[in-house]
């Protein structure tokens, strides 16, 4: 209990809330890294996922790729790319994008694929083009699953950017790595608490968004089934990857 008291004392110490090493600055860096990761990964994975979900083509390959990428060792990939591309943001950012792609890809194709085919056929029957079917029918109905993929990727990015601070970068992970050689355990525990708090807040916000984007007429249990569907897709990927 004394360790937690010391950690919270460290967090609320006014001296640790100002300057480039202050909590607001480190928190801002961590959120910026996470946002960059999600934007780049989504730009790659979401269009591909939409195409796979709409056409049904390439699904097996997408599942295999997702399973393969999920099996990559996080810290090893970060260090490898840092060594190849030099110390800085680019190497870890590429590594984090690679790690964030699988949940975004799975969420995108699972969301579009989950739409009842009778609904899609009805849309075609009234004269909608394939583009209109995708954006006016499949994406709105599958949005809870799509947001679920983004939610999983965001939590993955928040956790992994903490590890990526092993490379001299900013973010909340700095508190852990800077304090380790000094055996400053209150600072280390404070850093862990801040990362956990950020992850919980982001997860809660995405949970609210998932409920808000659930279309009328879609069953209430749809949002709560998002993670089950994502885990199912991941599980199939792991089997195929083996």
What pLDDT, on a 0 to 100 scale, did the predictor assign at position 198? 95
- Of residues 165 and 150, more confidently modeled: 150
What mean pLDDT do residues 81-109 have?
Answer: 87
pTM: 0.82
Find where tokens 């060594």 sit: 83
Whole-number Cα distances in Å, 135 to 39, 69, 93: 20, 28, 30
Residues in the chain: 242
pLDDT at 201 over 60: yes
CA angle (30 as vertex; 170, 200 as ends), nearest 5 = 140
What pLDDT, on a 0 to 100 scale, did the predictor assign at position 234? 46
Residues 112 and 136: their CA atoms lie apart, in Å, by 11
Q: How many CA atoms lie within 13 A of 128 on its CB side?
A: 17
Which CATH fold topology does 2-241 show?
A: MetI-like fold (1.10.3720)
- pLDDT of 54-64, one tens digit each? 888 887 887 78
Q: Which of 64-73, 82-91, 190-199 has the highest mean pLDDT?
A: 190-199
- Tally Cβ neighbours within 10 Å of residue 186: 19
- Strands, E assignment, the chain: none
Mean pLDDT of the chain: 84
Q: Are 54 and 130 in contact (CB under 8 A)?
A: yes
- pLDDT of 31-46, one tens digit each? 999 999 999 999 999 9
């Amino acid at each position: 209990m004394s360790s937690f008291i010391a950690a919270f004392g460290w967090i609320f110490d006014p001296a640790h809330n100002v300057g480039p090493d202050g909590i607001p600055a480190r928190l801002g860096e961590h959120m910026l890294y996470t946002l960059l990761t999600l934007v780049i990964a989504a730009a790659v994975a979401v269009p591909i996922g939409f195409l796979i979900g709409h056409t049904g083509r390439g699904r097996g390959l997408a599942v295999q790729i997702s399973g393969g990428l999920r099996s990559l060792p996080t810290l090893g990939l970060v260090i490898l790319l840092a060594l190849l591309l030099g110390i800085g943001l680019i190497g870890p950012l590429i590594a984090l994008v690679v790690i964030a792609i699988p949940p975004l890809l799975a969420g995108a194709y699972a969301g579009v694929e989950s739409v009842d085919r009778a609904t899609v056929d009805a849309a075609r029957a009234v004269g909608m083009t394939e583009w209109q079917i995708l954006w006016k029918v499949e994406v709105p109905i599958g949005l809870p699953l799509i947001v679920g993929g983004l939610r999983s990727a965001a939590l993955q990015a928040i956790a992994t950017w903490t590890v990526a601070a092993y490379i001299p970068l900013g973010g909340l992970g700095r508190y852990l790595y800077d304090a380790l050689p000094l055996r400053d355990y209150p600072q280390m525990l404070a850093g862990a608490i801040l990362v956990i708090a950020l992850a919980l807040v982001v997860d809660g916000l995405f949970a609210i968004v998932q409920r808000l984007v659930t279309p009328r007429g879609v069953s209430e249990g749809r949002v709560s089934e998002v993670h089950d569907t994502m885990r199912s897709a991941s599980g199939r990927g792991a089997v195929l990857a083996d």
